[in-house]
Amino acid sequence: NPLTNLPAMTKDNVKTTQQPDFFPQRLKYPASLENSNPEGYKQAVELLGGTDAVLTPLWWARH
C-alpha cells in the first residue's frame, strides 16, 4: 500500500498561509441547514465544541 509510506503531516512540513496544528478536520455544515433549521444548526454547532469551520476538530478524532 503506497499510502503507508507517506510522511506524517505536521505544521512544519505543510505549507499554508494559516497556522493550523493539522489539516482540515471536517466540512462546514451547508448554508441551507442554517437557513432552513436555525435551531438545529445552532445545536449542531454547540455540539462541535467550537465553530462551524473546517479546522474545528471532531470529538472522535485523535488530536
The predicted structure's pLDDT at residue 45: 94
List pLDDT tens digits, range 1-43: 566 777 777 777 766 666 556 667 889 999 999 999 999 999 9
CB 55 within 8 A of CB 20: yes
Q: Which residue has the higher pLDDT, 40 or 63?
A: 40
* Interval 47-57 mean pLDDT: 88
Tell me: pLDDT of 55 over 60: yes
The predicted structure's pLDDT at residue 16: 63
CB 38 within 8 A of CB 29: no
